[in-house]
Protein backbone atom coordinates (compact mmCIF):
# COMPACT_ATOMS: atom_id res chain seq x y z
CA UNK A 1 0.00 0.00 0.00
CA UNK A 2 2.57 2.55 1.12
CA UNK A 3 4.71 2.42 -2.00
CA UNK A 4 1.56 3.45 -3.88
CA UNK A 5 1.09 6.72 -2.04
CA UNK A 6 2.94 7.93 -5.14
CA UNK A 7 1.97 11.06 -6.98
CA UNK A 8 -0.46 12.72 -4.63
CA UNK A 9 1.61 12.25 -1.48
CA UNK A 10 5.11 12.30 -2.90
CA UNK A 11 4.64 15.11 -5.37
CA UNK A 12 2.90 17.23 -2.79
CA UNK A 13 5.64 16.64 -0.25
CA UNK A 14 8.42 17.26 -2.72
CA UNK A 15 7.22 20.77 -3.57
CA UNK A 16 9.87 23.18 -2.38
CA UNK A 17 7.64 26.19 -1.97
CA UNK A 18 4.06 27.07 -1.20
CA UNK A 19 2.28 28.54 -4.16
CA UNK A 20 -1.00 30.32 -4.24
CA UNK A 21 -3.91 28.11 -5.25
CA UNK A 22 -5.48 28.58 -8.62
CA UNK A 23 -9.22 28.80 -8.95
CA UNK A 24 -11.20 25.57 -9.09
CA UNK A 25 -14.59 24.81 -10.54
CA UNK A 26 -16.03 24.33 -7.05
CA UNK A 27 -14.51 27.62 -5.94
CA UNK A 28 -16.12 29.48 -8.83
CA UNK A 29 -19.61 28.12 -8.31
CA UNK A 30 -22.05 30.50 -6.74
CA UNK A 31 -22.59 29.74 -3.07
CA UNK A 32 -25.90 28.09 -2.33
CA UNK A 33 -28.39 30.05 -0.28
CA UNK A 34 -30.41 28.34 2.45
CA UNK A 35 -33.03 29.79 4.75
CA UNK A 36 -31.54 28.03 7.78
CA UNK A 37 -28.19 26.40 8.39
CA UNK A 38 -27.98 22.66 9.11
CA UNK A 39 -25.69 21.85 12.04
CA UNK A 40 -23.17 19.11 11.22
CA UNK A 41 -21.39 17.64 14.25
CA UNK A 42 -17.84 16.36 14.02
CA UNK A 43 -16.21 14.25 16.70
CA UNK A 44 -13.07 16.03 17.85
CA UNK A 45 -10.68 18.02 15.65
CA UNK A 46 -8.82 15.20 13.85
CA UNK A 47 -5.74 15.61 16.08
CA UNK A 48 -5.26 17.59 19.28
CA UNK A 49 -1.94 18.93 17.95
CA UNK A 50 -3.76 20.91 15.24
CA UNK A 51 -6.96 21.60 17.18
CA UNK A 52 -6.79 25.40 16.88
CA UNK A 53 -5.90 25.22 13.20
CA UNK A 54 -8.75 22.82 12.43
CA UNK A 55 -11.25 24.99 14.29
CA UNK A 56 -10.02 27.98 12.28
CA UNK A 57 -10.69 26.04 9.07
CA UNK A 58 -14.18 25.10 10.25
CA UNK A 59 -14.88 28.72 11.15
CA UNK A 60 -13.84 29.92 7.69
CA UNK A 61 -15.96 27.23 6.06
CA UNK A 62 -18.96 28.14 8.18
CA UNK A 63 -18.62 31.77 7.11
CA UNK A 64 -18.18 30.85 3.44
CA UNK A 65 -21.72 29.58 2.82
CA UNK A 66 -25.25 29.77 4.18
CA UNK A 67 -26.25 26.10 4.36
CA UNK A 68 -24.12 24.29 6.94
CA UNK A 69 -22.38 24.85 10.27
CA UNK A 70 -19.60 22.48 11.35
CA UNK A 71 -19.58 22.02 15.13
CA UNK A 72 -16.87 20.03 16.93
CA UNK A 73 -18.04 17.81 19.80
CA UNK A 74 -15.60 16.35 22.30
CA UNK A 75 -14.81 12.69 22.91
CA UNK A 76 -13.79 12.53 26.55
CA UNK A 77 -13.35 8.73 26.60
CA UNK A 78 -9.99 6.97 26.39
CA UNK A 79 -10.85 5.41 23.04
CA UNK A 80 -12.86 6.15 19.92
CA UNK A 81 -15.39 3.39 20.56
CA UNK A 82 -15.55 4.30 24.24
CA UNK A 83 -16.86 7.72 23.24
CA UNK A 84 -18.90 6.86 20.16
CA UNK A 85 -20.79 3.83 21.52
CA UNK A 86 -22.75 5.77 24.19
CA UNK A 87 -23.42 8.55 21.67
CA UNK A 88 -25.06 6.04 19.35
CA UNK A 89 -26.98 4.51 22.26
CA UNK A 90 -28.32 7.96 23.12
CA UNK A 91 -29.29 8.69 19.51
CA UNK A 92 -26.68 11.46 19.34
CA UNK A 93 -24.12 10.01 16.94
CA UNK A 94 -21.71 12.53 15.41
CA UNK A 95 -22.17 13.03 11.69
CA UNK A 96 -18.48 13.30 10.76
CA UNK A 97 -15.73 11.30 12.48
CA UNK A 98 -12.12 10.18 11.96
CA UNK A 99 -10.81 6.77 12.94
CA UNK A 100 -8.59 3.88 11.82
CA UNK A 101 -8.56 0.57 13.71
CA UNK A 102 -12.27 0.90 14.42
CA UNK A 103 -13.28 0.99 10.75
CA UNK A 104 -14.55 -2.63 10.76
CA UNK A 105 -16.63 -1.85 13.86
CA UNK A 106 -18.20 1.17 12.16
CA UNK A 107 -18.66 -0.30 8.68
CA UNK A 108 -22.39 -1.01 8.99
CA UNK A 109 -23.11 2.44 10.47
CA UNK A 110 -21.45 4.74 7.96
CA UNK A 111 -21.78 6.00 4.42
CA UNK A 112 -20.28 4.24 1.39
CA UNK A 113 -17.89 6.56 -0.46
CA UNK A 114 -17.73 4.35 -3.57
CA UNK A 115 -18.05 6.40 -6.75
CA UNK A 116 -17.85 9.77 -5.01
CA UNK A 117 -15.73 12.69 -6.22
CA UNK A 118 -13.45 12.71 -3.19
CA UNK A 119 -12.80 8.96 -3.31
CA UNK A 120 -11.85 9.42 -6.95
CA UNK A 121 -9.29 12.07 -6.04
CA UNK A 122 -7.57 9.94 -3.36
CA UNK A 123 -4.08 8.65 -4.17
CA UNK A 124 -3.78 5.02 -5.25
CA UNK A 125 -3.39 2.73 -2.27
CA UNK A 126 -4.75 5.15 0.31
CA UNK A 127 -8.31 3.79 0.23
CA UNK A 128 -7.41 0.15 0.84
CA UNK A 129 -7.49 0.03 4.64
CA UNK A 130 -10.96 1.63 4.66
CA UNK A 131 -12.49 -0.81 2.19
CA UNK A 132 -14.41 -3.30 4.31
CA UNK A 133 -15.83 -6.22 2.33
CA UNK A 134 -16.23 -4.06 -0.77
CA UNK A 135 -17.72 -1.05 1.02
CA UNK A 136 -15.59 2.11 1.00
CA UNK A 137 -16.35 3.21 4.52
CA UNK A 138 -13.86 6.09 4.67
CA UNK A 139 -11.53 8.38 2.75
CA UNK A 140 -8.00 9.29 3.92
CA UNK A 141 -7.25 12.34 6.02
CA UNK A 142 -3.54 12.67 5.20
CA UNK A 143 -0.29 10.71 5.11
CA UNK A 144 1.99 10.62 8.14
CA UNK A 145 5.35 9.14 8.94
CA UNK A 146 7.10 8.17 12.11
CA UNK A 147 10.55 7.08 13.18
CA UNK A 148 13.37 8.83 15.00
CA UNK A 149 12.93 12.57 14.80
CA UNK A 150 16.14 14.54 15.16
CA UNK A 151 17.36 18.09 15.68
CA UNK A 152 19.75 18.71 12.79
CA UNK A 153 21.73 21.38 14.62
CA UNK A 154 22.39 19.05 17.56
CA UNK A 155 23.47 16.20 15.30
CA UNK A 156 25.68 18.52 13.24
CA UNK A 157 27.43 19.67 16.42
CA UNK A 158 27.98 16.04 17.43
CA UNK A 159 29.28 15.09 13.99
CA UNK A 160 26.44 12.62 13.44
CA UNK A 161 25.16 11.93 9.93
CA UNK A 162 21.67 10.34 10.13
CA UNK A 163 22.16 8.70 6.74
CA UNK A 164 25.18 6.81 8.10
CA UNK A 165 23.18 5.09 10.86
CA UNK A 166 22.52 1.63 9.46
CA UNK A 167 22.38 -0.62 12.55
CA UNK A 168 21.41 -0.56 16.21
CA UNK A 169 25.09 -0.29 17.16
CA UNK A 170 25.43 2.70 14.81
CA UNK A 171 22.54 4.30 16.68
CA UNK A 172 24.22 3.68 20.02
CA UNK A 173 27.37 5.35 18.70
CA UNK A 174 25.28 8.33 17.61
CA UNK A 175 23.71 8.53 21.07
CA UNK A 176 27.19 8.52 22.63
CA UNK A 177 28.36 11.27 20.25
CA UNK A 178 25.43 13.50 21.19
CA UNK A 179 26.03 12.92 24.89
CA UNK A 180 29.68 13.84 24.43
CA UNK A 181 28.50 17.37 23.58
CA UNK A 182 26.88 17.67 27.01
CA UNK A 183 23.34 17.06 25.78
CA UNK A 184 21.12 14.04 26.32
CA UNK A 185 20.80 11.59 23.47
CA UNK A 186 17.06 11.01 23.29
CA UNK A 187 13.68 11.77 24.76
CA UNK A 188 11.91 8.41 24.71
CA UNK A 189 8.22 9.10 25.18
CA UNK A 190 6.31 6.37 27.00
CA UNK A 191 2.91 7.68 25.95
CA UNK A 192 0.53 4.73 25.60
CA UNK A 193 -0.43 5.63 22.02
CA UNK A 194 3.18 6.07 20.93
CA UNK A 195 4.21 2.74 22.43
CA UNK A 196 1.00 0.89 21.60
CA UNK A 197 0.60 1.94 17.97
CA UNK A 198 3.84 3.32 16.59
CA UNK A 199 6.65 1.53 18.39
CA UNK A 200 4.89 -1.84 18.17
CA UNK A 201 4.46 -1.22 14.46
CA UNK A 202 8.23 -1.27 14.03
CA UNK A 203 8.23 -4.87 15.25
CA UNK A 204 5.18 -6.05 13.33
CA UNK A 205 6.13 -4.48 10.01
CA UNK A 206 9.75 -5.70 10.06
CA UNK A 207 8.86 -9.31 10.87
CA UNK A 208 8.82 -9.89 7.12
CA UNK A 209 8.75 -7.97 3.86
CA UNK A 210 5.66 -10.05 3.01
CA UNK A 211 2.34 -8.79 4.38
CA UNK A 212 0.82 -12.27 4.60
CA UNK A 213 3.71 -13.41 6.80
CA UNK A 214 3.05 -10.41 9.03
CA UNK A 215 -0.63 -11.31 9.21
CA UNK A 216 0.35 -14.83 10.23
CA UNK A 217 2.04 -13.36 13.32
CA UNK A 218 -1.26 -11.59 14.09
CA UNK A 219 -3.06 -14.92 13.62
CA UNK A 220 -0.73 -16.73 15.99
CA UNK A 221 -1.03 -14.04 18.64
CA UNK A 222 -4.83 -14.06 18.37
CA UNK A 223 -4.86 -17.88 18.61
CA UNK A 224 -2.52 -17.82 21.58
CA UNK A 225 0.04 -20.01 19.79
CA UNK A 226 2.79 -17.51 18.99
CA UNK A 227 5.84 -17.40 21.29
CA UNK A 228 7.39 -13.96 21.06
CA UNK A 229 10.43 -14.92 23.12
CA UNK A 230 11.44 -17.36 20.37
CA UNK A 231 11.17 -14.66 17.67
CA UNK A 232 14.56 -13.15 16.80
CA UNK A 233 12.95 -9.97 15.48
CA UNK A 234 10.97 -9.44 18.70
CA UNK A 235 14.24 -9.69 20.62
CA UNK A 236 15.93 -7.26 18.22
CA UNK A 237 13.02 -4.89 18.76
CA UNK A 238 13.34 -5.18 22.54
CA UNK A 239 17.07 -4.46 22.24
CA UNK A 240 16.21 -1.21 20.42
CA UNK A 241 13.55 -0.49 23.07
CA UNK A 242 16.17 -1.02 25.79
CA UNK A 243 18.65 1.23 24.00
CA UNK A 244 16.22 4.15 23.88
CA UNK A 245 15.20 3.50 27.47
CA UNK A 246 18.86 3.47 28.61
CA UNK A 247 19.66 6.82 27.00
CA UNK A 248 16.34 8.54 27.76
CA UNK A 249 16.72 12.00 29.28
CA UNK A 250 14.21 11.07 32.00
CA UNK A 251 15.62 7.66 32.79
CA UNK A 252 12.78 5.71 31.19
CA UNK A 253 10.03 7.36 33.19
CA UNK A 254 8.46 9.58 30.51
CA UNK A 255 4.85 8.33 30.69
CA UNK A 256 2.89 11.29 32.09
CA UNK A 257 -0.02 12.70 30.09
CA UNK A 258 1.88 15.97 29.51
CA UNK A 259 4.88 14.04 28.26
CA UNK A 260 4.35 15.09 24.64
CA UNK A 261 4.71 18.80 25.40
CA UNK A 262 7.92 18.33 27.38
CA UNK A 263 9.38 16.19 24.59
CA UNK A 264 8.60 18.90 22.03
CA UNK A 265 10.54 21.39 24.16
CA UNK A 266 13.48 19.03 24.65
CA UNK A 267 13.98 18.38 20.94
CA UNK A 268 13.10 21.89 19.75
CA UNK A 269 15.43 23.57 22.25
CA UNK A 270 18.28 21.15 21.62
CA UNK A 271 18.27 19.44 25.01
CA UNK A 272 18.26 16.11 23.15
CA UNK A 273 19.26 14.95 19.70
CA UNK A 274 16.51 12.41 19.04
CA UNK A 275 12.86 11.67 19.81
CA UNK A 276 10.84 8.64 18.68
CA UNK A 277 7.73 10.27 17.25
CA UNK A 278 6.04 11.25 13.98
CA UNK A 279 5.90 14.18 11.59
CA UNK A 280 2.69 15.37 13.24
CA UNK A 281 5.06 16.88 15.82
CA UNK A 282 6.93 19.02 13.31
CA UNK A 283 4.45 21.94 13.50
CA UNK A 284 4.83 21.96 17.29
CA UNK A 285 8.62 21.89 16.98
CA UNK A 286 8.62 24.78 14.52
CA UNK A 287 6.26 26.80 16.67
CA UNK A 288 8.80 26.44 19.48
CA UNK A 289 11.91 27.01 17.34
CA UNK A 290 10.82 28.60 14.04
CA UNK A 291 14.32 28.63 12.53
CA UNK A 292 15.06 24.99 13.43
CA UNK A 293 15.51 22.05 11.08
CA UNK A 294 13.98 18.79 12.25
CA UNK A 295 14.32 15.56 10.31
CA UNK A 296 13.10 11.98 10.50
CA UNK A 297 15.14 8.80 10.10
CA UNK A 298 14.60 5.05 10.54
CA UNK A 299 14.82 3.29 13.89
CA UNK A 300 17.20 0.42 13.08
CA UNK A 301 16.46 -2.56 15.30
CA UNK A 302 18.78 -5.13 13.73
CA UNK A 303 22.55 -5.15 13.81
CA UNK A 304 22.60 -6.39 10.22
CA UNK A 305 22.97 -3.29 8.05
CA UNK A 306 20.91 -4.68 5.18
CA UNK A 307 18.13 -6.15 7.31
CA UNK A 308 14.60 -5.38 6.15
CA UNK A 309 13.33 -2.17 7.69
CA UNK A 310 16.62 -0.79 9.01
CA UNK A 311 16.68 1.84 6.24
CA UNK A 312 12.97 2.72 6.13
CA UNK A 313 10.44 4.85 7.97
CA UNK A 314 6.81 3.98 8.68
CA UNK A 315 4.45 5.84 6.34
CA UNK A 316 0.68 5.49 6.22
CA UNK A 317 -2.79 6.96 6.59
CA UNK A 318 -3.38 7.74 10.28
CA UNK A 319 -7.12 8.36 10.07
CA UNK A 320 -10.03 8.12 7.69
CA UNK A 321 -13.01 10.45 7.41
CA UNK A 322 -16.25 8.54 7.97
CA UNK A 323 -19.83 9.85 7.85
CA UNK A 324 -22.64 8.37 9.93
CA UNK A 325 -25.56 7.03 7.92
CA UNK A 326 -27.53 5.37 10.72
CA UNK A 327 -28.72 8.44 12.64
CA UNK A 328 -27.87 11.43 10.45
CA UNK A 329 -30.21 13.18 8.05
CA UNK A 330 -29.60 13.54 4.33
CA UNK A 331 -28.91 17.25 4.87
CA UNK A 332 -26.35 16.53 7.57
CA UNK A 333 -24.52 14.05 5.36
CA UNK A 334 -24.56 16.53 2.50
CA UNK A 335 -23.06 19.13 4.82
CA UNK A 336 -20.26 16.80 5.90
CA UNK A 337 -19.40 16.02 2.28
CA UNK A 338 -19.58 19.71 1.37
CA UNK A 339 -17.17 20.64 4.16
CA UNK A 340 -14.63 17.98 3.13
CA UNK A 341 -15.00 18.97 -0.53
CA UNK A 342 -14.28 22.59 0.44
CA UNK A 343 -11.26 21.51 2.54
CA UNK A 344 -9.77 19.30 -0.19
CA UNK A 345 -10.63 21.06 -3.46
CA UNK A 346 -10.93 24.83 -2.92
CA UNK A 347 -8.04 27.31 -2.66
CA UNK A 348 -9.12 28.40 0.82
CA UNK A 349 -9.60 24.86 2.08
CA UNK A 350 -6.33 23.60 0.63
CA UNK A 351 -4.44 26.40 2.36
CA UNK A 352 -5.96 25.41 5.70
CA UNK A 353 -5.21 21.74 4.98
CA UNK A 354 -1.62 21.93 3.73
CA UNK A 355 -0.47 25.48 4.44
CA UNK A 356 2.24 26.31 7.00
CA UNK A 357 1.53 25.88 10.68
CA UNK A 358 3.08 29.27 11.45
CA UNK A 359 0.23 30.80 9.49
CA UNK A 360 -2.29 28.81 11.56
CA UNK A 361 -2.80 26.05 8.98
CA UNK A 362 -2.66 22.28 9.50
CA UNK A 363 0.41 21.49 7.34
CA UNK A 364 -0.98 18.09 6.27
CA UNK A 365 0.70 16.11 3.48
CA UNK A 366 -1.93 15.95 0.73
CA UNK A 367 -3.08 12.53 -0.50
CA UNK A 368 -5.52 13.88 -3.09
CA UNK A 369 -4.85 14.98 -6.64
CA UNK A 370 -5.37 18.59 -7.58
CA UNK A 371 -3.45 20.15 -4.68
CA UNK A 372 -1.36 23.22 -5.42
CA UNK A 373 -0.54 23.90 -1.77
CA UNK A 374 2.13 21.66 -0.27
CA UNK A 375 4.12 21.59 2.97
CA UNK A 376 7.71 22.58 2.26
CA UNK A 377 9.45 21.91 5.56
CA UNK A 378 12.70 20.04 6.07
CA UNK A 379 10.94 16.96 7.44
CA UNK A 380 8.24 16.91 4.74
CA UNK A 381 10.94 16.88 2.07
CA UNK A 382 12.76 14.03 3.81
CA UNK A 383 9.55 12.01 3.96
CA UNK A 384 9.04 12.63 0.26
CA UNK A 385 12.55 11.32 -0.41
CA UNK A 386 11.81 8.10 1.49
CA UNK A 387 8.55 7.65 -0.42
CA UNK A 388 10.24 8.29 -3.77
CA UNK A 389 13.00 5.77 -2.92
CA UNK A 390 10.50 3.12 -1.80
CA UNK A 391 12.03 3.14 1.68
CA UNK A 392 8.75 2.93 3.58
CA UNK A 393 7.23 0.47 6.03
CA UNK A 394 3.54 -0.34 6.13
CA UNK A 395 1.43 0.74 9.08
CA UNK A 396 0.51 -2.72 10.34
CA UNK A 397 -1.13 -0.96 13.30
CA UNK A 398 -3.86 -0.02 10.81
CA UNK A 399 -4.98 -3.64 11.08
CA UNK A 400 -4.78 -3.99 14.86
CA UNK A 401 -8.03 -5.09 16.49
CA UNK A 402 -9.92 -2.18 18.05
CA UNK A 403 -10.32 -4.08 21.33
CA UNK A 404 -8.22 -4.35 23.39
CA UNK A 405 -5.96 -2.77 20.79
CA UNK A 406 -3.25 -0.19 21.10
CA UNK A 407 -4.45 1.06 24.50
CA UNK A 408 -3.63 -2.34 26.00
CA UNK A 409 -0.41 -2.75 24.01
CA UNK A 410 0.70 0.67 25.18
CA UNK A 411 -0.10 -0.17 28.80
CA UNK A 412 2.13 -3.25 28.57
CA UNK A 413 4.88 -1.10 27.08
CA UNK A 414 4.56 1.38 29.94
CA UNK A 415 4.99 -1.42 32.48
CA UNK A 416 8.17 -2.43 30.70
CA UNK A 417 9.57 1.06 30.25
CA UNK A 418 9.13 1.77 33.98
CA UNK A 419 10.64 -1.56 35.05
CA UNK A 420 7.45 -3.11 36.47
CA UNK A 421 7.93 -6.16 34.24
CA UNK A 422 11.00 -7.71 32.63
CA UNK A 423 11.44 -8.89 29.03
CA UNK A 424 9.69 -12.20 29.63
CA UNK A 425 6.91 -10.43 31.46
CA UNK A 426 6.51 -7.97 28.60
CA UNK A 427 6.21 -10.79 26.06
CA UNK A 428 3.67 -12.59 28.26
CA UNK A 429 1.64 -9.42 28.78
CA UNK A 430 1.68 -8.56 25.08
CA UNK A 431 0.63 -12.09 24.12
CA UNK A 432 -2.22 -11.97 26.65
CA UNK A 433 -3.40 -8.64 25.19
CA UNK A 434 -3.65 -10.21 21.73
CA UNK A 435 -5.06 -13.62 22.66
CA UNK A 436 -8.66 -14.06 21.60
CA UNK A 437 -8.72 -10.95 19.39
CA UNK A 438 -11.15 -10.87 16.50
CA UNK A 439 -9.20 -11.34 13.27
CA UNK A 440 -10.39 -8.10 11.72
CA UNK A 441 -7.40 -8.15 9.35
CA UNK A 442 -8.83 -11.23 7.61
CATH number of the CATH domain containing 98: 3.40.190.10
Which of 375, 401, 421 represents a domain boundary (last residue)?
375
d(CA 168, CA 420): 25
Instruction: Read off the pLDDT of residues 59-81 as tens digits, 9 standing for 90 and up.
Output: 999 999 999 999 999 988 888 99
Instruction: Read off the pLDDT of residues 259-273 as tens digits, 9 standing for 90 and up.
Output: 899 999 999 999 999
Dihedral angle sign, alpha carbons of residues 34, 39, 45, 46 = negative
Phi and psi at residue 210, in whole multiples of 5°? -100, 125
d(CA 188, CA 55): 30
Query: Which of the two residues, 283 and 185, has the higher pLDDT score?
Result: 185
Asked if omega into 404 is within 30° of 0 (cis), the reply is yes
If asked whether residues 185 and 100 sit together in one domain, one would say no
pTM above 0.75, yes or no: yes
Residue 44 gets the label, from left (phi > 0), alpha (psi -120 to 50) or beta, of left
Give the strands of the sheet with 38-43, arranged side by side.
Answer: 68-73, 38-43, 96-99, 320-323, 139-140
Average confidence score pLDDT of the chain = 91
Residue 165 has pLDDT above 80, yes or no: yes
Gyration radius (Cα) of the chain, Å: 22
> Would residue 381 count as lying in a domain?
no
If asked whether residues 159 and 239 sit together in one domain, one would say yes
If asked whether residues 338 and 367 sit together in one domain, one would say yes
pLDDT (mean) for 81-108: 95
> Would residue 152 count as lying in a domain?
yes
User: How many domains, in total, are found in the chain?
Assistant: 2
SS3 call for 291: coil
Residue 32 is predicted with a pLDDT of 61
Residue 28 has pLDDT above 50, yes or no: no
Q: How confident is the model at residue 220 (pLDDT cuts 50, 70, 90)?
A: very high
Print the domain residue range for 181. 145-315+393-434
Contact present, 76 and 68 (Cβ < 8 Å): no
Instruction: Read off the pLDDT of residues 136-151 as tens digits, 9 standing for 90 and up.
Output: 999 999 999 999 999 9
If asked whether residues 422 and 346 sit together in one domain, one would say no
Residue 76 is predicted with a pLDDT of 85
d(CA 262, CA 272): 11
SS3 call for 105: helix
Residue 327 is predicted with a pLDDT of 98
pLDDT (mean) for 235-259: 91
Residue 134 has pLDDT above 70, yes or no: yes
> Would residue 7 count as lying in a domain?
no
If asked whether residues 170 and 262 sit together in one domain, one would say yes
Contact present, 302 and 236 (Cβ < 8 Å): yes
Instruction: Read off the pLDDT of residues 385-431 as tens digits, 9 standing for 90 and up.
Output: 898 888 999 999 989 998 889 999 999 999 999 999 999 999 999 99
Amino acid sequence: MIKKLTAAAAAASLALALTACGSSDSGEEAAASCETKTEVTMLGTIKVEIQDQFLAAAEDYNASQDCYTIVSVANDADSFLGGVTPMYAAGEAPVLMTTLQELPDMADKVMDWTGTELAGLAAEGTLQAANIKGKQVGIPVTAEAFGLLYNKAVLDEAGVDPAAIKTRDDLKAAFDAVEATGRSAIHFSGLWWSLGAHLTNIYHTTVSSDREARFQVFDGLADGTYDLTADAQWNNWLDAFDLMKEYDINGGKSIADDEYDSAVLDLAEGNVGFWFMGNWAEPNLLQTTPDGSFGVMPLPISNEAGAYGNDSISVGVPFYFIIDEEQSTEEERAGAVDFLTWLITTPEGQMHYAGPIEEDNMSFIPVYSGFTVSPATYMAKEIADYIAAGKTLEWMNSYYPAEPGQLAYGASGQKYITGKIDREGFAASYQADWKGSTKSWR
